[in-house]
Chain A
Amino acid sequence: MIPAPFEYVRVGSVDEAVDALSEHGEEATLLAGGHSLLPLMRLRLAVPEVLVDLGRVDELRGVRDAGDHLAVGAMTTHHQVMSDPLVREHCGVLAEVTGEVGDPQVRHRGTIGGACAHGDAAGDHPACLLALDATMVARDPGGTREITAADFFTGIFETALAPDEVLTEVHLPKLDGSWGFDYQKFQRVKQAWAIVGACALVRREDGRIGEARVGLTNLGSVPVRATGTERLLAGAAAEPDALREAAAQAAEGTQPPTDSNARPDYRRHLARVLTLRALQNSLAS
């Protein structure tokens, strides 16, 4: 189908984008890679009056070494993130998770900023960024602010971004070699969204687990941390029984949704199984 008519505004800088959003208010929608927005517009589930295209905002593209963290520009495509040497060296888990998004064509166009701002609970980025304790940077007419991943994702297709705010960067911690990681995505077919996903980060410390972080995809309206699992693993021996016991707690306190793919009890089961696999692979990686 063909999208409803809209006014098209192409901006060349973040400042211009912020101005355009302030000028047009609620009627304006930002366009990044378009791989969530255009499908919705074709189905007329999204009918923006004004589309503000970030495609030419070069300052939003690329990955920068910012000392103790990496700064990824919001318009950096999934393809660029996956193949970026800095990301691969310091935050390999994001490269791995990004490689699970859609298919090559989708990854050539879709951006990290769009994947975050879209706020889809079934998206692969949110759980990973939550596990990483990543920080989002946003700009509005008043200036720039930082939002932690834990505060950023607020509901189904909802984020902490205000209508006149542009997400400019995602800040990622640099993980040294003591961290292992793995993302387990359960899907009906390879190209599809996660029915459930589990992203694990494990810091090894002399045969023990110094710290474990687990982010879960699609186990609620926002990405969640498997806090029960994380608590049991802190300081635990890096042994199969400890992992099994901890993974059994992965779904504690979650309220998984029901849809045509799965009911809540099945999603909880998947969370436990995928968390165990992700932890095992993290330790082996």
Chain B
Amino acid sequence: MPRISVNVDGTAFTDEVEPRLLLVHYLRDRLGKTGTNIGCDTSNCGACTVVMDGLSVKSCTVLAVQADGSDVTTIEGLADDGRWHPLQKAFHTEHALQCGYCTPGMIMASVGLLADNPDPSDEEVREGLEGNLCRCTGYQNIVKAVRTAAAEMHEGATR
């Protein structure tokens, strides 16, 4: 079996994996990082989104062997020493979730979006999150939360 080395949420892991193992199953079943959800069988919903080498990806559509040598951040690695990331805070304060199933993927896709565009308009947030489906919120508060977080991150950066 191929052996892979992956850095996940700041910890280096080396494991033997079956080639057909999906990254999302590696994260959930092997590393116990069940914060990353699986919501579909068609690569559409984005619930499984993680950030891999700086870019948002759907971890259900990446083989664990393809992630060999990569740096992966999941929702579980986002908080800094127990302090929530601005996106986590904003999703809470802006009420950007109801059942919460889509939230880990929404937040990780937003991390990717804000890395690319630190100050997106409503329209740009909607476009940036077009790969993530939410069946509860109607998206309005998700857009608000991403913009609130962007503003906070901007303030933090210029202070």
The answer to whether A binds B is yes
Whether A2 contacts B22 by the Cβ 8 Å rule is yes
Give the chain B neighbours of A4 by CB distance below 8 A.
20
Give the chain B neighbours of A3 by CB distance below 8 A.
20, 22
User: What are 13 A-B residue pairs whose CB atoms fall within 8 Å in the complex?
Assistant: A8-B2, A8-B19, A10-B2, A31-B63, A31-B66, A34-B62, A35-B43, A38-B61, A53-B65, A79-B55, A105-B58, A106-B131, A108-B112
Give 16 A-B pairs besides A2-B20, A41-B20, A105-B112 with Cβ atoms closer than 8 angstroms.
Answer: A5-B18, A5-B19, A7-B19, A8-B63, A31-B66, A38-B61, A55-B66, A103-B46, A103-B131, A104-B112, A104-B113, A105-B109, A106-B43, A109-B58, A191-B44, A191-B130
Give the chain A neighbours of B46 by CB distance below 8 A.
103, 105
The smallest beta-carbon distance between B32 and chain A, in angstroms, is: 19
Q: How does the 8 Å CB contact mask read for B37-58 relative to A, with 1 for contact and 0 for none?
A: 0000111101001000001111
- How many residue pairs between the two chains, A and B, have CB atoms under 8 Å in the bound complex? 81
Task: Check B25 for interface membership: any CB of A closer than 8 A.
Answer: yes
Whether A34 contacts B130 by the Cβ 8 Å rule is no
Give the chain B neighbours of A191 by CB distance below 8 A.
44, 130-131
Distance between Cα atoms of A191 and B133 in the complex (Å): 10
Interface residues on A, range: 20 to 34
Residues 101 to 135 of chain A near chain B (Cβ within 8 Å): 102-106, 108-109
Distance between Cα atoms of A8 and B21 in the complex (Å): 11
Distance between Cα atoms of A43 and B68 in the complex (Å): 24
Whether A190 contacts B62 by the Cβ 8 Å rule is no
Whether A104 contacts B131 by the Cβ 8 Å rule is yes
* Closest residue on chain A to residue B105 by CB atoms: A105
Task: Check A207 for interface membership: any CB of B closer than 8 A.
Answer: no
Whether A104 contacts B62 by the Cβ 8 Å rule is no
Known contacts: A4-B20, A190-B130. The answer to whether A105 contacts B66 by CB under 8 A is no
Of B42, B58, B61, most A-chain CB atoms within 10 Å: B61
Give the chain A neighbours of B35 by CB distance below 8 A.
none
Give the chain A neighbours of B65 by CB distance below 8 A.
8, 10, 53
Give the chain A neighbours of B2 by CB distance below 8 A.
8, 10
